[in-house]
Chain A
């Protein structure tokens, strides 16, 4: 059985993700998160005795490329995608609150 998702769990995750979650939405999200977790928890029903742990399903190793410089043709567009830009810089709001 999976553990209950508490209001504190939701607050913590929201905080780590820098989300300002209104109080009234917390119960909605804890219910939804719990559903997701319960759904995924079905995997625990499978007997994995003797199966080595892995981080992926496809057995491909050492996918790599040569050390070759390729300039991107979309630099301008990338800079323009930013909510704020100052000449060649991305501009972001102040980082620390006073």
Chain B
């Protein structure tokens, strides 16, 4: 009997390259600055000239170990660097310094929250095989054609060569494109929380290669594995996986073979296409790099670095739901960026209700921060002042409408909301006799509407509320105003 689409299962693993955010390269003092003129940041070590000696950047080891600890990996007491030999002009030395059989860390996992529109959100534990340190390669510009195959020569820029990377290899635990995208985005989030990488996909500081195969159900042996490269967003990772899964299923079902190869995601055409192999052989002939001594991470050093780790996004998500009673959606939005989460926590610490703080922060304030390309840490409106504003609303001193009105200038210049309210007389009118007088006047001004209301057009109460707000510039206490209006209108 032929298998149906539903019986097929995809098996996906990700290799993620994270650029570690050091000032200088992994084995030499050349700068890692992005976007400069070609070959600005080269030196004899980067170019692999004879007689030069690479020396490990301390910060790279620290960042790699911290990243590994955050991914629950075991840190190797003894580790070393190896040479991976291949001939391609992006490497001036003809070998890449990487780690082969003794990576800095192995065997870990992360909890990934998988949320998709119209489907139940779930948390899945994804295994991580290893994390190792290595150097990045240079960048090639293929000239004479827009395609590599037709180009007559290539231009090489080694600014990126020798920049420190952590390669994180997941276990083949991912089953859908969405899971792959969520996993990658959680890795990025963790790296940003740690401050070890900016995770900027457009600038290439976070790159994902996907390994993907399909099989007939969870007990069947793995199918032929295909590698996909060239996705520069999380949604591209998801779409590339989804495209590839259906391509492979179709191939098997129509009796065509799936061949082991590397394919490139074409963002414009939304499909993967076969890439011609850049090298016939993948015999990398690894051997220990004789220029670099072994690495030892003592328990003492490891624990000192562990103590410097911040609370990680998954822990925050759980805490926001369990301790602050937020929805898992709110928790997810608030914890996406550490700066936003910290801002939120400071507002709550200053006494504001968590749900109200969450609404303001993920709503108007996030919109302002994003529109102005700011970071929450740069916001003139301090968490303490936002807490004050939320308390003014909760206590009934100002309406939410007034708060929204003064918000733009608070966001721009900061300051005490209470002071602004007092100085401008923006406080809510909640004195019953004042409101009562105003309602009386309104009823004199709009006799027809009073008549109609009493004749059954109850909707007109809204008209009177509107008029009252107009006279008071929105300052009438809405609850009280409605009470008084209803009483008087009913006569």
Contacts and interface: CB of A to CB of B under 8 A. Distances in A.
Pair from one complex: yes
Interface of A: 15-18, 55-56, 58, 60-72, 74-75, 78-79, 81, 86-96, 98
A71 B55 contact: no
Among A67, A70, A90, which residue has the most Cβ atoms of chain B within 10 A? A67
Mostly, the A contact residues are loop
16 contacts: A16-B85, A18-B87, A55-B294, A61-B293, A63-B293, A66-B57, A69-B23, A70-B28, A71-B31, A75-B40, A75-B43, A79-B39, A88-B39, A92-B89, A93-B153, A95-B148
B23 A68 contact: yes
B294 A70 contact: no
Given A16-B85, A16-B285, A79-B42, 17 more contacts: A17-B87, A56-B288, A63-B292, A63-B293, A64-B55, A71-B43, A79-B39, A81-B47, A86-B155, A88-B38, A89-B156, A90-B158, A91-B153, A92-B154, A92-B155, A95-B140, A95-B278
A58 B80 CA distance: 14
Given A75-B40, A90-B39, A91-B154, A55 B149 contact: no
Interface in B37-94: 37-44, 47, 49, 55-61, 80, 85, 87-89
Interface string B388-415: 0000000000000000000000000000
Q: For chain B, give the interface size range.
A: 35 or more
B290 interface: yes
Contacts, number: 137
B309 interface: no
A30 to B, nearest CB: 19
B120 to A, nearest CB: 45
A94 B151 contact: yes
A34 B80 CA distance: 30
Contact of B24 (A68, A78, A86, A95): A68
Contacts of B148: 95-96
A51 to B, nearest CB: 16
Contacts of B61: 62, 64
B141 interface: yes
Contacts of A69: 23-24, 29-31
A67 B23 contact: yes
Interface string B128-151: 000000000000111010001111
Given A55-B80, A60-B293, A64-B57, A90 B276 contact: no
A79 B203 CA distance: 25
A65 B29 CA distance: 9
Contact of B149 (A15, A68, A88, A96): A96
Nearest to A65: B55
B55 A63 contact: yes
B57 A70 contact: no
A88 B283 CA distance: 32
Contact of A56 (B30, B140, B158, B294): B294
B97 to A, nearest CB: 14
Contacts of B56: 62-65
